[in-house]
Amino acid sequence: MLFNNKKVQLFTALTYIFSWTLAILFFSFGGSVNSRGYFILGIDYMFMPAIMAFLVQKIISKEPLKLPLGISFKVNAWFFIGWIIPLLLVFLTLLISLLIPGVTYSPGMEGMFERLSGLMKADEIEKLKSSYALAPVHPVWIGVIQGLLAGASINAIAGFGEELGWRGFLYNELKSLGFWKMSLITGLIWGIWHAPLVIKGHNYYQHPIVGVLMMAAWCILLAPLFNYVRIKSGSVIATSIMHGTLNATYGLALILIKGGNDLTVGITGLAGFAAIIIVTAVIYYFDVYESANPVMEKLF
């Protein structure tokens, strides 16, 4: 079990201590989620799980790194499936958001500009509107292309910083518990890790305290999808691409809607929760009842 696994305990403790210390120092010296320095903090923060995984696995435990942690560049179909799943989640979230009372379709992106008014200066928003007006196609399609390209390149590198910890180290240490228990524990550790950033407004700037619980729940819901891709692809690189693409495209779920708040709409809101549950349920059905080699255990 988790509490008897000293390697997991050590990894989790070190990851939290170093990540949270980094965040506390940043915010203590006047940093904010709206500042340019937050981007640098975010990159450093994302690499903490990978650094601690390397430290515990290779330096302290003196065990192999590459094979146990799934560092494989042998591309297969699941690399591409993992690359596309975030877009499926984003557009399904958009559709579900439109079912929420008070949320309307906003092709002119008025809702997005309203949300940005609390995060950007008025002149910056006007420049953004002007650039969008000159775009040859709707910005949402530009966002799709840019998100896919970034997700498979620069964002995947940053995603690897997390994935080597969550789907590399933790997956290897906890897989003997079974798919669902391993996913629950991994998701919980992953979600709580975000706490200092969420409290300061990351993802849930309107509800930062409740947002800590929402982020934990969101990561728990996402963990089975990521673990499934990890197993099927045999590689943490595939989940790094998946992670990077999700980070690059999640904002698209908000670009065409008006109304709602950070707890209800968007990929990290309740609409996103529902989208994740639907996609997971579909994969679960085909894996358990249709696949010749299922990796998920039956829930019922």
Q: Is the pLDDT of residue 95 over 70?
A: yes
Q: Is the pLDDT of residue 153 over 80?
A: yes
**How much is the pLDDT for 3?**
53
Q: Is the pLDDT of residue 115 over 80?
A: no
**How much is the pLDDT for 4?**
63
How high is the mean pLDDT of the chain? 94
**How much is the pLDDT for 300?**
77
By percentage, how much of the chain surpasses pLDDT 90?
84
Burial category of 214 from C-beta neighbours within 10 Å (exposed 0-12, middle 13-18, buried 19 and up):
buried
Q: Is the pLDDT of residue 74 over 80?
A: yes
**How much is the pLDDT for 122?**
77
Are 81 and 179 within 8 A, CB to CB?
A: no
Q: Cα–Cα–Cα angle for 280, 285, 291, nearest 5°?
A: 115
**How much is the pLDDT for 1?**
46
State whether the Cα torsion 204-209-211-34 is positive or negative. Answer: positive
**How much is the pLDDT for 99?**
96
Q: Which helix (H) or strand (E) holds 208?
A: helix 208-233
Query: In whole angstroms, what is the distance from residue 98 CA to residue 260 CA?
Result: 10
End-to-end, the C-alpha distance of the chain in Å comes to 22
**How much is the pLDDT for 157?**
97
